Amino acid sequence: MLATSATALLLAGAASDRASAQTAVDAITVTARDAAGLLERQPSSTVFGLSKPLLETPRSASFVSAATLDRYGVRTIDDLVEVSPGAFTDSYYGVPGSLALRGTLAENYFRGFKRVENRGTYPTPLPAADRVEIVRGPPTPLYGPGKVGGLLNFSPRSARVEDKYLTRPTGELELTVGGYGLKRAAGQVGLPARLGNVEGGVYAYAEAEDADSFYRGVHPSHQLGQLSAEFDLGGGWSLAFGGMAYRARGYVQTPGWNRLTQALIDDGTYVTGQDTTLTDRDGNGRLTPNEIGPGGLISGYFGFTPSPDPRFILDTGVGTAKLSPRTVFISPRDFSDTDTQTAYADIGRTVGAGALKLQLFYDALDNQRFVSYGFPAAYNGHVTEVRASYTTPFSLGAIKGQGAVGASLRNYRGTAKESFNGGNLSLDRRDLTRGATATDIFDDPFSAEPGGIGLTWETDVRSHWRDAGVFAVTDLEWRGLSLTAGGRYDGYRVTSRDQGTVVFGPTPGRDYTDKTGDWTWSASLSWKAPGGLMPYVTYAEASALELNQAGGVAPSLVMSDSWLSDSLLAEAGVKARLLGDVLTGSLAVYRQARTQLSLNNSVQGTRGRGIELELRWLASRQLSFTFAGALQKTRIKGPDGSFVVIPPAAVGVSGPNGYGGAYALYALSGLVPGDYVNTQVPRSVMSLFAVYTGAARAWGQAGGTLGVTRVSHTQGVIPGAVRLPAYAVVSGSAFLQRGDWRFALNIDNLFDKRFFTPVADVYANVAALPGVGRTWRVALKRGF
């Protein structure tokens, strides 16, 4: 239905163009209409590594400018669903770190370089971006190897605007306050620089934010500083350098609601009660392993109802109560501290009609976290990359083209410490109506216990890998036909060891080393048809590393030779530039196959297919509309060896007789044999927004944005799983501009809609995160 409607709309637009003899709208008029920054102002190299407008690029991709982020009130990657099809992201424990595209986790890039993994570690700081590009599919060969599915490329704010340097100093100061104690300050300044033949500029941006949260007990804060500098040095030389430092505290991971039942989702009826069998004997405020007992609180399910365990039984306060969406799983001991540092430097030289460029990139992550149901972690990783490339236009008779060749070397080293193998954890043990107590807060390795009774780092993975690659890409055009093809070869060397205290599989402390090489390639064919339409087809095969949360490779994967995985994409679509470019859009149909890595390092194959539609219509100088919609279906290829926690009812035990511990499948295939549909990803997600920008008056200018996002239902994957209902959320914003002053108001979830987001990973069948209710914020900005 979505595909039929989209095709009809695009063809109708083309017919309208022909009927009106393709009446052209002057480019200046089109730009004047684009007050919300919906149109791409300059070609992008993000998709293929060659300069080409996204609307002429034969791949599904979206562009989001800083102006669009501001007008739509986009603050986190969760909000990108408003402007990009296929971008629904389930809850990675409430922290929006990485975008999900086409039903799988996407990768984060900074100016075309892949960053260290960020799976719910810290929020990606979108307000610091000049633009973001969302590519659905594998990265260009220039960027390095990566899985199909997608990526988000972050471009920092810069002194270069539409390929020109600033001509005068510019800047802005911003103060924001909002609901739940939000306080935010941001400032930016851009300075032109000219000395003799040297022309360029420097741009600095900083922000600090402190707040409470819709969720009681969560108090996030962060600070960010960013600097970029670009110079044309004369004689064909150019130089760019910069970086970003980010510090976050309090973005704790929470699964939301535990003791998940359909009654809890439907009307908020929560099962209460506590177990008193286990006690905090030493009075330190938490359960240490010696107080829990051998084997922890995980009971494996092997097809028959487990024997009763007194520690699992709720023996006091059993009943029901109504639970507020603001009450989630949290304790005073929960924390998450993150620091990142990113730096880059480019030096370029024009050589004839082409350009030679040498680029350096560095990214580092340090994170320590603890979630009191029993998951501590410490991640430390850093990556360096050197990339050299030569790009040039060329012609072969009537064929016009451009191409790029080059080489890259990427080195990673990091540590991932976690504790869960000992089974000292239970999500359902806490009664959320009572809050955290000493008998449902588990010990962690960050605190020292006398006599060695405390929890240790049960896994301690030290990983080092190197990727040396060569790449080439070309784009050929002839009479409206365009062929874009590229590929790369990567030679890998991986070393990994686990020196934890509870290691399954690999020998603790032993280095596992392997090396191999593999190819990645893609080819696309497009045709600039009459009427402003451009049909295209794309095929890609990719090879990429299986990385953990710190960006390393687990020794068990090296030992089993499963650390490198293949993926493929087949896509067909049509892009449109209609009505003199005031109506633009794209329609894509895809099939993909790729892998995903579970918490217990099980590599699972997935197959996905879907349809995506994106439309942006500048209806007049005052009014614009956008639509982003996707239909998708993702299947997990069985047998699925992932470790998952399941509710007591799934093993034949009532909630009150099982919530004190946890039941688990050591392989999901024990309950869900063969292939199955990933119902945790919604089948359909659609967003429709309108943007109004009033004419400039003597008193100033005003405008607003209003839209709705609808998400279809989701549910867990085991038989009888709880169903999270479909929902529609309305958001809006308004602004008033007077001279250099600007006042802005944003309201998210305008009608305070009650909804739920599925939780990723092992707790997907036993927890759900309540959606954030109505929130507001007002900002006062002063430009100069």
C-alpha distances (whole Å) from 609 to each of 7, 104, 160, 337, 673 are 18, 12, 39, 38, 21
What per-residue confidence (pLDDT) applies to 28?
Answer: 55
Handedness of CA 546, 547, 552, 556 (dihedral sign): negative
Between CA 58 and CA 526 the distance in angstroms is: 6
Q: Decide if 715 contacts 721 (C-beta within 8 A).
A: yes
Q: Decide if 656 contacts 313 (C-beta within 8 A).
A: yes
What per-residue confidence (pLDDT) applies to 10?
Answer: 41
6 pLDDT higher than 50: no
Instruction: Grade residue 27 by pLDDT with cuts at 50, 70 and 90.
Output: low
Q: Decide if 296 contacts 442 (C-beta within 8 A).
A: no
More confident residue, 105 or 313: 313
Q: pLDDT digits over 206-240, tens only?
A: 999 999 999 999 999 999 999 999 999 999 999 99
20 pLDDT higher than 70: no
What per-residue confidence (pLDDT) applies to 685?
Answer: 97
| Mean pLDDT, range 35-49, rounded to an integer | 85
Q: pLDDT digits over 494-553, tens only?
A: 999 999 999 999 999 999 999 999 999 999 999 999 999 999 999 999 999 999 999 999
What per-residue confidence (pLDDT) applies to 654?
Answer: 97
What per-residue confidence (pLDDT) applies to 449?
Answer: 85
Percent of the chain having pLDDT more than 90?
A: 89
Instruction: Grade residue 132 by pLDDT with cuts at 50, 70 and 90.
Output: very high
Q: Is 194 helix (H, G, I), strand (E, B) or coil?
A: strand
| Mean pLDDT, range 469-480, rounded to an integer | 97
182 pLDDT higher than 70: yes
Handedness of CA 542, 546, 548, 550 (dihedral sign): negative
What per-residue confidence (pLDDT) applies to 35?
Answer: 86
Instruction: Grade residue 18 by pLDDT with cuts at 50, 70 and 90.
Output: very low
What per-residue confidence (pLDDT) applies to 47?
Answer: 85
Residues 1-26 as b/e (b if ≥16 CB within 10 A, e otherwise) read ebeeebeebbeebbeebeeeeeeeee
The mean predicted confidence, pLDDT, of the chain is: 94
634 pLDDT higher than 90: yes
Dihedral angle over CA of 213, 288, 548, 365, nearest 10: 60
| Mean pLDDT, range 387-416, rounded to an integer | 97
162 pLDDT higher than 80: no
Between CA 403 and CA 513 the distance in angstroms is: 36
Which of 59, 61, 41 is CA-nearest to residue 151? 61
Structure tokens that stand for 619 in this block? 């209806």
Q: What angle do CA 373, 378, 381 make, to 5 degrees?
A: 145
Between CA 615 and CA 55 the distance in angstroms is: 11
601 pLDDT higher than 50: yes
Q: DSSP letter at 507?
A: P
Q: Is 529 helix (H, G, I), strand (E, B) or coil?
A: coil
Q: pLDDT digits over 349-380, tens only?
A: 999 999 999 999 999 999 999 999 999 999 99
Between CA 149 and CA 112 the distance in angstroms is: 16
Between CA 112 and CA 41 the distance in angstroms is: 19
Which of 418, 420, 342, 422 is CA-nearest to residue 378? 418
480 pLDDT higher than 50: yes
More confident residue, 188 or 9: 188
Instruction: Grade residue 599 by pLDDT with cuts at 50, 70 and 90.
Output: confident
Q: Decide if 474 contacts 396 (C-beta within 8 A).
A: no
Considering only 80-84, 93-97, 425-429, which range has the smallest mean pLDDT? 93-97
Which of 588, 581, 589, 590 is CA-nearest to residue 616? 581
Instruction: Grade residue 473 by pLDDT with cuts at 50, 70 and 90.
Output: very high
What per-residue confidence (pLDDT) applies to 9?
Answer: 42
Which of 744, 736, 745, 743 is CA-nearest to residue 700? 736
All domains of the chain, ordered by start, with CATH? 2-254+331-422+458-637+675-783 (2.40.170.20)
Q: DSSP letter at 761?
A: G
> What burial class does residue 438 get, using C-beta atoms within 10 Å of its C-beta: 0-12 exposed, 13-18 middle, 19+ buried?
middle
Instruction: Grade residue 12 by pLDDT with cuts at 50, 70 and 90.
Output: very low
